[in-house]
Each structure stands twice: as C-alpha cells, then as structure tokens.
Chain A
Amino acid sequence: MSKLIIELTINNKKRKVETTASTRLLDLIRDDLYLTGTKEGCGKGECGACTVIMNDELVASCLVLAPQADGAVITTIEGIGDDKCLDPIQEAFVETGAVQCGFCTPGMILSAKKLLEENPHPTEEEIKRGISGNLCRCTGYQKIFDAIRLAANRLSSKDGGRGEEDA
C-alpha cells in the first residue's frame, strides 16, 4: 500500500493531496478535492466530460495519472467565474440555451475558454475543431456554437470594441 503525496495548484489554491500512483487525476479532483463539476463520461478520453486545463493546456483528466499532475497548475469549471459573477462564456451558454442536461457543459466551457484565449475570433470550422474533443448528446451543438460566437463577440468588444462578427 504505497501512498504518495502530490502538490498542485488548483483554481488558484495550493493543495497537498495523499494519493496513489494508479489514481486518475479525474478521481483525485472529484473524490479527494470534492470538485464534482468535472464529470466522468466514457473514461477513455473520447467524450471530454472530464476536461480540465492543466499547465495551460486542455487535457482529459481521465487519461492523466494523479502523480503526473504533481506540481501542475489546474483549472476546473469551479475556477471559471466566481460565486457572484459568471464568466462571459458561462453567461453566453445560459443565454443561448446551450445547456440542456448539463453533463457536457463544464468540459464544453473549458474547451471554449481555451479556444477563445488562443483564437478570439474563431470561424465556424475553428469552433468545431476547438470543441471536437467534447461530445454533447442533447443540443445538436448549434446552440453551443451560438454561445461561443456570442461570448467571442462580447469578449472582443471588451478588448477594444472589435465586435465585427455581429455584422
């Protein structure tokens, strides 16, 4: 029974956690840190429900061993926005009705966040590619695309009023 202790920064908080070498990051996040916004769907990296941002990259937390995240900086859905104020991407998802059962939503929002950070004005094709690692079985994706476009417009107009996609 060999336990090991890892340290990571999750949603801007430093945490020390006792775990094992064969614990998945997903289980550490959900069962040890009680951050249950991160979901388990397929457990094989195909559905994206377990998506988190690790060291500034989108990853499927079901395909990361907990000790592989030792020293990492991680953002989960709980680290987006705060109790008083939603992130503009979350707001856009609510407004466009891009949330139905909600199971894919945390992963979708993190993928959308990463996409818009790297590419503030994505085309339809770029949006599709950006969320290609996230499955949604309710919405048919159209409202999710609408939400991402809306968020892109708002974020870029905050950046300096370049909301040209509205035209």
Chain B
Amino acid sequence: MHQRTVPCQGYFAPQKIEEALEILFKYGKEIKVIAGGTDLLIQYCDRLYEVGSWLDLKNIEELKDIRINKNQTEIGAMVTHTQLEKSEDIKKYFPVLSQAAADIGSPQIRNRGTIGGNIVNASPAGDLLAPLMAYDAQFKLLSTQGEVIVPAEEFFIGPKKTILEPAQLLTGIILPLPSERTFGCWIKIGKRKALIIATITLALVVEMAEDNKTVKEVRTCLGSVAPTPIEIKEIREKMIGKKFSELDFNQLGQIVEDKISPIDDIRGTREYRKDVAKNIMINALEKIGSAWRSHK
C-alpha cells in the first residue's frame, strides 16, 4: 500500500486547559498547537512528518464558548468562523466581526478554522484581525506561569510574528461591549468572493457621542497593507469631537492612503492598494453615515 505519511512522536488532546499548559511547558517549541488546522496544515502540507508532536485543543470545551456579560464579551479561542458568523450576539454587538467571519474561505474552512488560529497565525491578511483591533480587543495568554492580557495592537509584531511565547496559549479574546450608538463597516477586497486571501481589508468602527451628532470614538483598522494589521490613528484627531455631518470624507480617505505601507505582491501592487484604501475608506464613511442617519 502506498504510504505517504511518516509516523511521528505524538499527539495530545487534553480536556483541560491546565493539562494543555503543562504539555506546552514540557515540550515548548517541539510541539505544534493545532486548532482548526486550516492554516497550519497548509503550511505543513508537504512536510507533516517534520512535526514532532501535536497539541490538539479540540477537547477543551471551555475554549468553544462566546460569553457575554454586562460590560464585555469573551470569545473562546476555539470558536469557529461559522460560530462567529451565526452568533446573534456577535451580529448585534460586533457586526463587523460577524461579517468578516462570513467572508472567510468557504463553508468547509469556516467550520474548522477558529478565531484563535486566525490570531496566532498572524497573517497580515488575517480577516478577523482588523475587526478585532477596531473593537479594541485584548487577548488572554495563559501559561503555567499565569495569565497575561495584551491589547491586540501589541500582540502582532510582524508578518506571522507575535509576542506569544512557546509555553503560552491564547485562550480567549476580550471585547468591551460597544454602546448603542456604535456603527461599523467591513470591506474586504479580493479577486473572488470565496477562498481568497484579501488584497486589502478595512474595519471602521465609529461611536457617536450622547448628542448623537458628534463623533466620540473611531477606529480605522486595515489588513494586508502593512507587516501587521494596523490602526490609522491620525484619523482619530480628524474625527473625534467633530460633527459627523461636517466631516470631509475625501480628506479622511487621503490620510488612510498616505499612512499605509503596502507592498507589491501577487494580489495587488502597492499603488493599487493605496488607491483602493482611499476609496474604501470613503465608501465605509458613507455607509456608516447612512446607518447613523436611519438610526436617528
């Protein structure tokens, strides 16, 4: 019989987080943590035999929930894109995240791929990353040494590079609950709708002040335009405290275009991404404007 796989050392599928942390502590870099596998197994598709041991998180039930309380939401690292897309709570409070999850891959990929995997894989094009930054997400990292909570923006340090230590496990994502006057827009540009790595993504979240006219808070986050997902912070000073109806969308689009640092690659040139970034920023502001007006 044709044998294409080489037997390897081991496979662990603990039921408790504590057991997983012990295994990670013991094996460190020698073990690969696997969640949905939709990125990892592609990365290793021709060399699965190189992996010494697998730590599969599939049996850890407490990582599979979305929990909402008064002030915040905690999403377990093993929550799949399908769960995110279908959750009524995520749709209601974090529509940009829900829509981004719905745009990932295909049904087959969304059923297996997880939010934790998308974060830890840290692709500059990771579809959930800009929305998570736009909702001010924090990541919970556990190890046998204890718990560390870091803001999304400090977690990513380069393409596929994060601050996660080999003995640490990302267990959850914490999102503050947005106010009722929060509006969001998600735009993903790619060559086809399904199974596409984004050429550029934009997650724009705007919170209006109590007068419902003035911008209280804004986060403009983009993917595939820099070594990590980024927020364009210069947009804050141009929008916060200003009346939404008096904003200059064209100028805001220009700031986004000027502040990103995309590269030429097979999905698009630097120039193309710069043009598109400006245009999708303007489109997103228009969409948020009409959602805000119909909400008034």
Contacts and interface: CB of A to CB of B under 8 A. Distances in A.
B48 A58 contact: no
A24 B4 CA distance: 10
A3 B36 CA distance: 22
B6 A20 contact: yes
A67 B11 contact: yes
User: What are the nearest 3 A-B pairs in CB distance?
Assistant: A133-B106, A132-B194, A21-B11
Interface stretch (A44-52, A139-147, A150-158): A44-52
Contacts of A68: 34, 37, 56, 58
Interface residues of A, number: 35
B190 interface: no
Interface stretch (B18-26, B61-69, B108-116, B246-254): B108-116
Contacts, number: 112
A120 interface: no
Contacts of B194: 129, 132-133
Interface string B87-129: 0000000000000000001111101100000000000000000
A59 B56 CA distance: 17
Interface of B: 1-11, 13, 34, 36-38, 41-42, 45, 48-49, 51, 53-54, 56, 58, 82, 105-109, 111-112, 193-195
Interface in A1-51: 1-4, 20-24, 27, 31, 43-46, 48, 51
A165 interface: no
B273 to A, nearest CB: 23
Interface in A117-146: 129-130, 132-134
A76 interface: no
Given A20-B5, A63-B112, A68-B58, A132 B45 contact: no
A111 interface: yes
B1 A58 contact: no
Contacts of B54: 21-22, 65, 67
12 contacts: A20-B6, A21-B11, A45-B195, A58-B107, A59-B111, A60-B108, A63-B38, A65-B11, A65-B37, A68-B56, A114-B107, A133-B194
A43 B4 CA distance: 13
A132 B108 CA distance: 9
A58 B5 CA distance: 24
A2 B9 contact: yes
Given A63-B37, A63-B42, A21 B8 contact: yes
A132 B106 contact: yes
A80 interface: no
A133 B124 CA distance: 23
B125 to A, nearest CB: 15
Contact of A48 (B9, B11, B53, B106): B106
Nearest to A23: B5
Given A21-B10, A60-B108, A60-B109, A45 B38 contact: yes
Contacts of A2: 7-10
A51 B106 CA distance: 11
Contacts of A60: 38, 108-109, 112
